[in-house]
Protein backbone atom coordinates (compact mmCIF):
# COMPACT_ATOMS: atom_id res chain seq x y z
CA UNK A 1 0.00 0.00 0.00
CA UNK A 2 1.51 3.31 -1.04
CA UNK A 3 1.87 6.32 1.24
CA UNK A 4 -0.65 8.40 -0.76
CA UNK A 5 -3.28 5.67 -0.57
CA UNK A 6 -2.64 5.16 3.15
CA UNK A 7 -3.13 8.89 3.78
CA UNK A 8 -6.35 8.91 1.74
CA UNK A 9 -7.79 5.97 3.70
CA UNK A 10 -6.80 7.59 6.97
CA UNK A 11 -8.37 10.89 5.94
CA UNK A 12 -11.62 9.20 4.88
CA UNK A 13 -11.72 7.28 8.16
CA UNK A 14 -11.25 10.47 10.17
CA UNK A 15 -13.94 12.20 8.10
CA UNK A 16 -16.40 9.36 8.75
CA UNK A 17 -15.56 9.31 12.45
CA UNK A 18 -16.07 13.06 12.80
CA UNK A 19 -19.38 12.79 10.90
CA UNK A 20 -20.60 10.17 13.40
CA UNK A 21 -19.49 12.30 16.34
CA UNK A 22 -21.21 15.41 15.01
CA UNK A 23 -24.38 13.46 14.18
CA UNK A 24 -24.51 12.23 17.77
CA UNK A 25 -24.37 15.79 19.06
CA UNK A 26 -27.22 17.00 16.88
CA UNK A 27 -30.05 15.33 18.80
CA UNK A 28 -30.83 16.27 22.42
CA UNK A 29 -30.22 13.46 24.85
CA UNK A 30 -33.55 14.05 26.64
CA UNK A 31 -35.47 13.22 23.45
CA UNK A 32 -33.63 9.98 22.81
CA UNK A 33 -35.44 6.78 23.77
CA UNK A 34 -33.76 4.68 26.40
CA UNK A 35 -34.15 1.05 27.38
CA UNK A 36 -35.78 0.89 30.84
CA UNK A 37 -38.16 3.84 30.78
CA UNK A 38 -41.94 3.67 30.53
CA UNK A 39 -43.75 4.87 27.42
CA UNK A 40 -45.06 8.07 29.04
CA UNK A 41 -41.62 9.14 30.25
CA UNK A 42 -40.84 10.92 26.98
CA UNK A 43 -43.88 13.19 27.42
CA UNK A 44 -42.69 14.07 30.90
CA UNK A 45 -39.17 14.77 29.66
CA UNK A 46 -40.47 17.25 27.09
CA UNK A 47 -42.51 19.11 29.71
CA UNK A 48 -39.61 19.33 32.15
CA UNK A 49 -37.92 21.99 30.03
CA UNK A 50 -40.64 24.56 30.69
CA UNK A 51 -40.27 27.07 33.47
CA UNK A 52 -42.80 27.91 36.14
CA UNK A 53 -44.42 31.33 35.86
CA UNK A 54 -42.52 33.83 37.98
CA UNK A 55 -45.38 36.12 38.95
CA UNK A 56 -47.92 33.45 39.94
CA UNK A 57 -47.60 33.52 43.73
CA UNK A 58 -49.86 31.74 46.21
CA UNK A 59 -52.31 33.97 48.08
CA UNK A 60 -51.17 35.50 51.38
CA UNK A 61 -52.15 33.64 54.54
CA UNK A 62 -54.70 35.18 56.87
CA UNK A 63 -53.23 33.68 60.03
CA UNK A 64 -49.75 32.89 61.26
CA UNK A 65 -48.42 29.40 60.63
CA UNK A 66 -47.59 28.95 64.33
CA UNK A 67 -49.39 31.07 66.93
CA UNK A 68 -47.06 33.45 68.81
CA UNK A 69 -47.47 31.70 72.19
CA UNK A 70 -46.50 28.31 70.74
CA UNK A 71 -43.63 29.92 68.86
CA UNK A 72 -42.26 31.44 72.09
CA UNK A 73 -42.54 28.03 73.83
CA UNK A 74 -40.66 26.29 71.01
CA UNK A 75 -37.95 28.95 70.98
CA UNK A 76 -37.49 28.60 74.76
CA UNK A 77 -37.18 24.80 74.43
CA UNK A 78 -34.60 25.20 71.66
CA UNK A 79 -32.58 27.66 73.75
CA UNK A 80 -32.60 25.23 76.69
CA UNK A 81 -31.48 22.37 74.43
CA UNK A 82 -28.69 24.51 72.98
CA UNK A 83 -27.50 25.47 76.47
CA UNK A 84 -27.57 21.81 77.59
CA UNK A 85 -25.50 20.79 74.57
CA UNK A 86 -23.04 23.61 75.11
CA UNK A 87 -22.54 22.66 78.75
CA UNK A 88 -22.00 18.97 77.97
CA UNK A 89 -19.44 19.72 75.27
CA UNK A 90 -17.52 22.02 77.61
CA UNK A 91 -17.48 19.43 80.42
CA UNK A 92 -17.95 15.93 78.92
CA UNK A 93 -17.58 14.13 82.30
CA UNK A 94 -20.45 16.00 84.01
CA UNK A 95 -23.89 14.40 83.93
pLDDT in tens, 14-56: 998 888 777 766 666 666 666 555 555 555 555 555 777 788 8
Residue 78, classed as helix, strand or coil, is helix
What percent of the chain shows pLDDT beyond 70?
Answer: 65
Between residues 64 and 78, the one the model is more confident about = 78
What is the C-alpha separation between 8 and 49, in angstroms, rounded?
44
Which pLDDT value is given to residue 80? 97
Which pLDDT value is given to residue 56? 81
pTM for the model: 0.33
Which pLDDT value is given to residue 59? 83
- For 11-16, what is the mean pLDDT? 91
What is the C-alpha separation between 84 and 73, in angstroms, rounded?
17
Amino acid sequence: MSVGRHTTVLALGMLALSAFVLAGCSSPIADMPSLGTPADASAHAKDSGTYLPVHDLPPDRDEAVIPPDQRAKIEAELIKARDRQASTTQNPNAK
